[in-house]
Amino acid sequence: MKTKHLTNLRKDLTSLSDVTKAELEAWFELAGRLKKELKAGKTHHLLAGKNLAMIFQKSSTRTRVSFEIAMRQLGGGGLYLSGNELQLGRGETIADTAQVLSRYCDGIMARVYAHSDIATLAKHASVPVINGLSDFSHPCQAVADYLTVLEHKGRLQGLTLAYVGDGNNVAHSLLYGGAKLGVSVTIVCPKGYEPQKAVVDRAESDGRQTGARVLVTNDVSAVKGADVVYTDVWASMGQEKEHEERVRIFKPYQVNDRLMAMTGKNDALFMHCLPAHRGEEVTDEVVDSPNSVVFDEAENRLHAQKAILVSLMAGR
């Protein structure tokens, strides 16, 4: 499989803020090919002999399994490093950790609390650093999300995605990605839980180049006309103390059959990055409906990340 044009597009993936439309489309194209050929029984060891250090301050099902299996299918290896084992930023500085791991491994993936940890790793590592999740951004998730929409809708340009819930790291990445891909993004959230203004401003700027519109509103009726409805948990890991209060505030923003009907489209997709708190941000009826693509979305974490790994690590 020819991948030369995909490799060395960038050193790191910390956020989708500076990823280009061409890079995103290259990832979609390679992910699609790898997915199709894997299902046909054909594998490509494009990262043979390569090893990925996988740092987890936060536990995860999808992130760990998808990255570990991705490296294995690409002919390389993934090394799981828990926050307790590394004591990232406590037992050893993050800068020193980045430099040490760079001597052992060919890439670093980190799932952290503070985005500043990702930025520090990227600054001091001599190998590619991939953001597996931070409090600011979840870029790999958004790449998998838009790959899933592309598979089901056949296009991205001109579509509208309505994100209903907390204006969090997932919302930020959907804004960045949608604006570059020509997908209009509406963020529907309670007052005081909007995405960061700098992210919205950047998405609006990028959207002027692609025709994508950006709207942030507290009115759930803004989902009208959406091709995709997306939600996430109301209280993320680390916000457990706020859970009860958030449930009270976000209750009117639950994605249920009534809200899906407000789109006015029988073929509107439902998406969720998982895990879903059924009965809170979404009902069983929506998660398990024919319009739900949440498990396709979860599967595509594997394929999207394989494309990202190849583009960052092959040929270095």
Q: How confident is the model at residue 239 (pLDDT cuts 50, 70, 90)?
A: confident
The catalytic position among 124, 246, 272, 301 is 301
Q: Which residues neighbour 218 within 8 Å (Cβ) at sequence distance 6 or greater?
A: 188, 189, 190, 191
Kindly give the interhelix angle for 169-181 and 21-39, rounded to the nearest 10 degrees: 100
239 catalytic per annotation = no
pLDDT at 205 over 50: yes
267-293: per-residue pLDDT in tens?
Answer: 999 999 999 999 999 999 999 999 999
Tell me the average pLDDT across 291-309.
Answer: 98
232 catalytic per annotation = yes
Exposed e or buried b per residue across 7-46, where buried means at least 16 C-beta atoms within 10 angstroms of its C-beta: eebeebbbbbbebebebbebbbebbbebbeeeeeeeebeb
The pLDDT, as a whole number, for residue 4 is 46
96 catalytic per annotation = no
25-59: per-residue pLDDT in tens?
Answer: 999 999 999 999 999 999 999 999 999 999 999 98
202 catalytic per annotation = no
The pLDDT, as a whole number, for residue 2 is 57
The pLDDT, as a whole number, for residue 8 is 57
Alpha helices in 135-236 (DSSP H): 139-153, 169-181, 197-210
Q: How confident is the model at residue 237 (pLDDT cuts 50, 70, 90)?
A: low
The catalytic position among 44, 62, 124, 138 is 138
Q: Which domains does the chain have, with CATH numbers?
A: 4-138+301-313 (3.40.50.1370), 141-297 (3.40.50.1370)
64 catalytic per annotation = no
152 catalytic per annotation = no
Q: How confident is the model at residue 84 (pLDDT cuts 50, 70, 90)?
A: confident
Name the pTM for this structure. 0.96
The catalytic position among 62, 105, 135, 141 is 141
The pLDDT, as a whole number, for residue 22 is 96
Query: Terminus-to-terminus CA distance in the chain, angstroms?
Result: 17
The catalytic position among 44, 111, 172, 202 is 111
